[in-house]
């Protein structure tokens, strides 16, 4: 079952259409990348899922039923624009937000203390929020977003403000939550993070859904069915006598020679290798699948 299903969602602000007939589904237990350039409509869709605003037409379903305001208790949302009360103490702020999500004072204190130790910020409990660095404040907000163990977690640019070490810490927590059954919607411009974390994606551009589906399927769909071969030989090999491959480019590299070949659809790599191993000393062979960054640029340009 899909945890979120959006059917023909339309949202307008006066004469501006923010979402134009968007239909997509978020499978349970996956990390779903919500992608698009600035102003595409991603934040509007996230706000509709969070019941901050409602669509002009269309419907959103949560666990198969029309989404209700009471479903918000099962959702955790970390917006891109952060907001903590600067004059409050960090611990008091975290407790306040935890209680808004239904935790008792004792439960919230226990869980928060454990998270603060895990993230190495226990010494900041009694300091004011305004004393925190951007990265420290980000840690506090991430903790308060996940503390109530939501079944759906929506993260909008969650790695913003983090150094590489803390990025890895947060990535591990995201993967651990997925392993525990949490569904995660990840909105980010970092295509490397998308490739590392996401199972499925949706790309929105100028209010319209451009593409959605499994990440690996989309990457292969937009590939050119090309392979790269690194081989050792006394001279460049022409590959002209094999009708199933067409040379695209070639050149000399440190190990010998590199060739990019376009493979005829339906041809097995084992057949190609079987033909070539007797002719050249193959050092490596790999399928060339386009990066999400290239696909993103191609589809939104």
Q: What string of pLDDT tens digits covers the 301 residues of the chain?
A: 899 999 999 999 999 999 999 999 999 999 999 999 999 999 999 999 999 999 999 999 999 999 999 999 999 999 987 778 889 999 999 999 999 988 999 999 999 999 999 999 999 999 999 998 888 888 999 999 999 999 999 999 999 878 899 899 999 999 999 999 999 999 999 999 999 999 999 999 999 999 999 999 999 899 888 999 999 988 899 888 888 898 999 999 998 999 999 998 888 888 888 888 888 999 999 999 999 999 999 999 8
* Alpha-carbon gap, residue 257 to 237, rounded angstroms: 9
* Alpha-carbon gap, residue 66 to 242, rounded angstroms: 57
CATH number of 2-86+141-220: 3.40.50.300
Question: What residue ranges in 14-156 does DSSP mark as E strands?
Answer: 16-27, 31-35, 57-62, 65-66, 75-78, 152-156
Count CB neighbours of 137 within 10 A.
Answer: 22
pTM: 0.88
Count CB neighbours of 121 within 10 A.
Answer: 19
The pair of three-digit structure tokens given for residue 66, joined into one six-digit string: 């029309």
Token pair 């989404």 in the structure block, residue = 67
Q: Look at residue 145 and give its three-state secondary structure.
A: helix
**Strand order from edge to edge, sheet including 183-187:** 75-78, 152-156, 183-187, 31-35, 200-205, 208-214
Q: By C-alpha distance, which of 301, 102, 67 is closest to 203?
A: 301
Cβ–Cβ < 8 Å for 194, 186: yes
For 40, half-sphere exposure in the C-beta direction (CA atoms, 13 angstrom radius) is 22
Euclidean distance between the first and final Cα of the chain, in Å?
34
Cβ–Cβ < 8 Å for 211, 200: no
């Amino acid at each position: 079952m899909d945890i979120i299903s959006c059917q023909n969602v339309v949202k307008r602000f006066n004469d501006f259409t923010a979402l134009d007939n968007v239909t997509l589904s978020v499978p349970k237990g996956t990390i779903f990348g919500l992608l698009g350039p600035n102003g595409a409509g991603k934040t509007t869709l996230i706000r509709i899922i969070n019941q901050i605003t409602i669509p002009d037409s269309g419907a959103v379903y949560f666990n198969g039923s029309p989404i209700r305001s009471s479903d918000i208790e099962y959702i955790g949302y970390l917006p891109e624009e952060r907001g903590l009360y600067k004059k409050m103490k960090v611990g008091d702020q975290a407790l306040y937000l935890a209680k808004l999500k239904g935790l008792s004072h004792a439960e919230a204190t226990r869980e928060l203390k454990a998270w603060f130790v895990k993230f190495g910020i226990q010494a900041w409990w009694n300091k004011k929020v305004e004393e925190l660095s951007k990265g420290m404040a980000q840690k506090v907000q991430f903790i308060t977003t996940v503390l109530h163990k939501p079944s759906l977690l929506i993260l909008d640019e969650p790695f913003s403000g983090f150094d590489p070490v803390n990025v890895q810490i947060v990535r591990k927590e995201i993967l651990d939550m997925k392993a525990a059954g949490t569904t995660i919607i990840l909105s980010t411009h970092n295509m490397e993070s998308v490739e590392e974390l996401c199972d499925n994606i949706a790309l929105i551009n100028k209010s319209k859904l451009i593409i959605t589906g499994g990440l690996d399927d989309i990457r292969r769909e937009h590939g050119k069915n090309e392979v790269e071969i690194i081989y050792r030989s006394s001279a460049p090999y022409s590959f002209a006598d094999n009708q199933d491959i067409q040379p695209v480019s070639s050149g000399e590299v440190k190990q010998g020679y590199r060739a990019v070949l376009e493979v005829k659809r339906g041809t097995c790599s084992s057949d190609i290798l079987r033909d070539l191993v007797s002719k050249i000393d193959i050092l490596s062979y790999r399928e060339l699948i386009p990066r999400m960054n290239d696909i993103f640029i191609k589809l939104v340009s």
